[in-house]
Amino acid sequence: MENKITSIAATVTPPGTNVHLPRLGFGVYQIFGESCISSCKTALDAGYRLIDSAQLYRNEDQVGAVVRDSELDRAEIFVTTKQGIRGATPQETYNLAAESVKRIAGSGPGAYVDLFLIHIPYVKGEAEGRKEVWQALERLYDEGKTRLIGVSNYDIEHIEEMKAYAKVWPPHVNQIELHPWRQQSGLVAYCENNGIVVQAYSPLAEGTKMDDPVVQRVAAKHDKSSAQVLIRYGLQKGWVVLPKSATPKRIKANANVFDFELDEEDMVALGGLSEEVPPS
């Protein structure tokens, strides 16, 4: 993947597809109601073209309203949602997913989302639940109601398990927690080797590490904020990066990360913040 990115328009195309997935996205976890609507509008105005929602976030309706009311063409906006629960039957599981598409894209012919993920591997019934939700997403994919399908919070073993039943394998995306303190390098390498796009959630470490001295040193060197350094770090690692903010000034500033580049020394210093033991 191209990591010397210089534009918010940069995308990645999952192998075997012709779908262009933006490298920078806007997360809407814990943003509700009017705040979700105004934050998504601010994000689109600032140039973000990917909005990351989920059934469990309870804001698909608001994201959908923004997308449908936007002056941008539907094709210019990339919308992700995630299924976090399993129904009582396979049909009900599918219906739950189809309702999400309706909340976001309406019920007209051709309504679609861009990416539908399984939110967590530990859906009710575990292995059977994972299979049932995946098969519901495959059905949506076949029907053209989602352009890509993927998983989130999946370990290697969960992705390998899918080979026994998946018609679509590999999943197009695995969305996982990634930032300097959480690198998951073995899982990231597995995804890269298998053509699975890696999306980084909580790329700002949920706002808890802005005062870290290493991050602040790198930020001062480039005359950027800590948040901008963390976002740029994720982009240069080759991840799709999904920062969240409900603060208009921060939403805009977090998208202003294409006019500088972290050098090797910065990347090593930031990478050294991880306390995880790398895989042998």
Annotated active-site positions, please? 57
Phi, psi of 12 (to 5 degrees): -130, 145
- For residue 272, give both structure tokens: 């050294």
> Does the protein bind ligand NAP through residue 242 (CB under 6 A)?
yes
Which residue in the set 253, 258, 260, 273 belongs to the binding site for ligand NAP (CB under 6 A)?
253
Per-residue DSSP letter, 179: B
The answer to whether 58 contacts ligand NAP (rule: CB under 6 A) is no
Q: Is 254 in the site for ligand NAP (CB under 6 A)?
A: yes
Q: What are phi and psi of 172, to 5 degrees?
A: -70, -30
Residue 225 is a binding residue for ligand NAP (CB under 6 A): yes
The residue from 1, 11, 20, 29 that contacts ligand NAP (CB under 6 A) is 29
Question: Does residue 14 have a cis bond before it (omega within 30 degrees)?
Answer: no
Residue 153 within binding range of ligand NAP, rule CB under 6 A: yes
DSSP secondary-structure letter at 145?
S
Q: Does the annotation flag 119 for ligand binding?
A: yes
CB of 245 to ligand NAP, least distance (A): 4
Q: Which of residues 66-95 bind ligand NAP (CB under 6 A)?
A: none
Pick 29 or 165: Cβ nearer ligand NAP:
29
Q: Give the 3-state secondary structure of residue 62.
A: helix
Among 81, 152, 174, 183, binds ligand NAP (CB under 6 A): 152
Residue numbers 203-222 binding ligand NAP by CB under 6 A: 203-207, 210
Beta carbons within 10 angstroms of residue 48's beta carbon: 25
Shortest distance, position 110 Cβ to ligand NAP, whole Å: 26
Between CA 136 and CA 96 the distance in angstroms is 9
**Cβ(78)–Cβ(21) under 8 Å?**
yes
The answer to whether 250 touches 227, Cβ cutoff 8 Å, is yes
User: Which residue among 175, 183, 184, 236 contacts ligand NAP (CB under 6 A)?
Assistant: 175
Residue 153 burial by CB count (10 A; 0-12/13-18/19+): exposed, middle or buried? middle
The residue count for binding ligand NAP (CB under 6 A) is: 27
Kindly report the number of other CB atoms within 10 A of residue 104's CB atom.
26
- Does position 244 interact with ligand NAP (CB under 6 A)? The reply is yes
Under rule CB under 6 A, residue 137 binds ligand NAP: no
Binding footprint of ligand NAP on the chain (CB under 6 A): 27-29, 52, 119, 152-153, 175, 201-207, 210, 225, 227, 242-247, 250, 253-254
